[in-house]
Structure 1
Amino acid sequence: MQINVVCFTVHKRFPLTISRGTTAKTTSLWVKLEAEGIEGWGEAVPFSTGSAGETTETLKQQLTAIKPNLEQFHPLTRSRLQSYLQEHQISSAIRSAIDVACYDWLGKRSRLPLWQLLGLDISQIVPISVTIGIGSPEEGKKRLENWQTVTDTKRIKLKLGSPKGLEADKRLLEAVAQNAPNAELTIDANGGWTLKEAITMSHWLAKYNVTYIEQPLAVEDDEKLPTLADNSPLPIFADESCFTSKDISRLAALKVDGINIKLMKAGGLTEVMRCAYTAQACGLQVMYGCYSDSSLANTAMAHLSPLADYLDLDSHLNLKDDPFYGAVLKNGYLQPTLSPGLGITLKCS
């Protein structure tokens, strides 16, 4: 098989601020895999979790170095291909792009959409949440108003863990809750709270329509999760503490209630499915998240959405210049199409 790589940069309509900083644009890799006259597409997005980080340049260097060795593989040998990439310690974002491209290729060759090829029921897909980053109450209200022009905001993910402290978090939450009284809220602190702060906030947030708190503690404080779970009236989900299925039994033992699976962390759709089934076997709830992913990566995840309880696949909706068309947003639901493979097409420039 032949592999071609194209760099593309996307810009956010609204820069996203979380506890670790602000992102306004991202340069990602569009990976095109060709065999038998069929082309499969994938996307590699650089990401940082605090404990791990990479750049577009490091991703490109890795893929350029290993690309000649990948020509010996075929998209149907996906398992061997992934083993090879793991043995050579290739970034999970690159592994993800190649794995997704193999699935896209397979769907196109089979002339079936991926969700149908996998036997999934897209009528079981839940609504996506839309994200509001850390900011002032006025900024939060403005961001909410913009989202309300895009979609029915049934679920809102609110980023907390402000460097300005808990009072700033509370003011932002109050502003959003007041202006979206019927929306279901989820909270993501991105590891921005101490144990004491997380316990305090969990009781304060329980007065609102909050479903769960995501990654309240830093990864290095994982051992404190049982204490938080014992003292929080709200469920606790793990994000930065969970990369692959290997992390799930450990987190279940630490009393978390759910995990956030992200395509770039997991290293491909194969591992996303493994994570989802492992979490379900451990009695945990499943959510899907994203970084600065375009429609390409989020559409790939949309095909597996019937396996998730919560969906945070909104990053492409905040892009000024997303180069792709993919899954369609209808009444708050991100629905894959009936087109073969992922159903991704390129926008005209």
Structure 2
Amino acid sequence: MRIELETFTVNKRFPLTISRGTTAQTTNLWIKLEHDRIVGWGEASPFSLANSRQSTETLQQALQQIIPQLEAYTPWQRQQIETLLHNTQLPSAAKAAVDMALHDWFGKCVGLPLWQIWGLNCSRIVPTSVTIGINSPAGAQTRVRDWLQFADVRVIKIKLGNPIGITADRAMFLAVKEAATTQDIFVDANGGWNLEDAVEMCNWLADAGVKYIEQPLAQGAEEQLAELKKRSPLPIFVDESCHTSADIPQLARCVDGINIKLMKAGGLTEAIRMVHTARAYGLQVMFGCYSDSALANTAAAQLAPLADYLDLDSHMNLIDDPFSGAILNKGRVIPNHKPGLGVERSAA
């Protein structure tokens, strides 16, 4: 097979601030995998966690190094390719791009969308949240109104964990709730709280009608999750603390759900493993994203019928997304009936 790699830069309509910083622009990677005149597409987007920074440059270099070895295979040799990617310790976002392209190629080869190949029911897809980053109360209200004017929003996720402290978190939350009168509200602290603040905020947010709390404690503080679960009336989801299916067994007793992201997991293959592993432990499942375009989010949407919650909004926040695929219908990100991922280049 023949593989090409190209970079593209995307800009956010609304810059996003979380507990670790602000993002307004990213440069992502587009991989094109051709075999038998069929081309599969994949995307790698950069992200940073406490112990992992996958920059655009790192991802590009890793893919350029592995492409000559990959080109010796065909897309049908998935097991050998997965072994190669594992043995070369390819960064997870780079692995996700290759895996995504292989799935896209396969769907196009058989002429079916991935969700149909997997036998999934798109009527089960729940509304996606849209994200309100850390802001002043007035700024947060403005951002809510911007989103409500721009899209059919049914769920809002608020980023808390303000470095100023939980007093600022409360003020911002109340401001968002005042502006979002009919939307469900979820909360993601991105590891911005210590244990005592997390306990206090979980109780306060439960009284405010929030359904769950995502990543209340920092990555690396997983030993405190069991204590938090005992003292929290809210279900606890982990994101930064859970990368792949191998992380789930040790987390299962102290959390209620996991957030799966293709870039963090390493692609659709591992995302499916994570879903099944989580379900075996009785956990709920969410699909999320980083600064992904419609290419990666449409890939995630192929698995959306398996999720309890969705946070696939990053492509909706781009002013220059080069791709189109899944559509927003009644607040739900719905994949189309085109083969493979169902992604095309956006009209100029």
TM-score by length of 1: 0.98
Moved over 6 A (4+): none
For 1:311, the equivalent position in structure 2 comes to 310
* 1:102-123 alpha-carbon deviations (Å, 9 max, x no partner): 1100111101111001111111
Alpha-carbon offset, residue 150 of structure 1: 2.6
Structure 1 residue 222 and structure 2 residue 222: aligned?
yes
SS in 2 for 1:27: strand
Alpha-carbon offset, residue 182 of structure 1: 2.5
The whole-number CA distance in structure 2 between the counterparts of 1:336 and 1:258 is 24
* 1:150-193 alpha-carbon deviations (Å, 9 max, x no partner): 33322111000001111110011001111113321111111100
The whole-number CA distance in structure 1 between the counterparts of 2:187 and 2:16 is 15
Give the gaps of 5 or more residues in structure 1. Answer: none
SS in 2 for 1:53: strand
The whole-number CA distance in structure 1 between the counterparts of 2:213 and 2:121 is 28
For 1:323, the equivalent position in structure 2 comes to 322
For 1:133, the equivalent position in structure 2 comes to 133
TM-score by length of 2: 0.99
Alpha-carbon offset, residue 66 of structure 1: 1.6
Structure 1 residue 195 and structure 2 residue 195: aligned?
yes
- CA contact under 8 A between 1:158 and 1:173: conserved in structure 2? yes
SS in 1 for 2:156: strand
The whole-number CA distance in structure 1 between the counterparts of 2:93 and 2:144 is 30
- CA contact under 8 A between 1:107 and 1:113: conserved in structure 2? yes
The whole-number CA distance in structure 2 between the counterparts of 1:109 and 1:152 is 34
Letter in 2 for 1:98: V
User: Which runs of structure 2 are paired with 1:88-237 in the superposition (5 Å)?
Assistant: 88-237=88-237
Letter in 2 for 1:243: H
SS in 1 for 2:108: helix
* 1:207-226 alpha-carbon deviations (Å, 9 max, x no partner): 21211110010111110001
Moved more, 59-68 or 288-297: 59-68
* 1:87-144 alpha-carbon deviations (Å, 9 max, x no partner): 0011111110011101100111101111001111111111101100000011111111
The whole-number CA distance in structure 2 between the counterparts of 1:125 and 1:54 is 30
For 1:13, the equivalent position in structure 2 comes to 13
SS in 1 for 2:53: coil
- CA contact under 8 A between 2:46 and 2:59: conserved in structure 1? yes
- CA contact under 8 A between 1:27 and 1:45: conserved in structure 2? yes
For 1:54, the equivalent position in structure 2 comes to 54
Letter in 2 for 1:326: G
For 1:284, the equivalent position in structure 2 comes to 283
- CA contact under 8 A between 1:151 and 1:331: conserved in structure 2? no
Letter in 1 for 2:78: R
Structure 1 residue 345 and structure 2 residue 344: aligned?
yes
The whole-number CA distance in structure 1 between the counterparts of 2:100 and 2:75 is 10
SS in 2 for 1:220: coil
- CA contact under 8 A between 1:20 and 1:50: conserved in structure 2? no
Structure 1 residue 260 and structure 2 residue 259: aligned?
yes
Moved more, 74-83 or 17-26: 74-83
**What root-mean-square deviation, in Å, do the aligned CA atoms of Structure 1 and Structure 2 show?**
0.8
Alpha-carbon offset, residue 75 of structure 1: 1.1
The whole-number CA distance in structure 2 between the counterparts of 1:274 and 1:295 is 23
* 1:246-299 alpha-carbon deviations (Å, 9 max, x no partner): 01111102x100000000011010110110111011000000000000000000
* 1:305-334 alpha-carbon deviations (Å, 9 max, x no partner): 011000000000000100001101011011
The whole-number CA distance in structure 2 between the counterparts of 1:222 and 1:256 is 10
For 1:66, the equivalent position in structure 2 comes to 66
The whole-number CA distance in structure 2 between the counterparts of 1:195 and 1:306 is 33
Alpha-carbon offset, residue 348 of structure 1: 3.3
SS in 1 for 2:54: coil
Letter in 2 for 1:312: D
How many corresponding residue pairs?
348
SS in 2 for 1:219: coil
The whole-number CA distance in structure 1 between the counterparts of 2:120 and 2:77 is 22
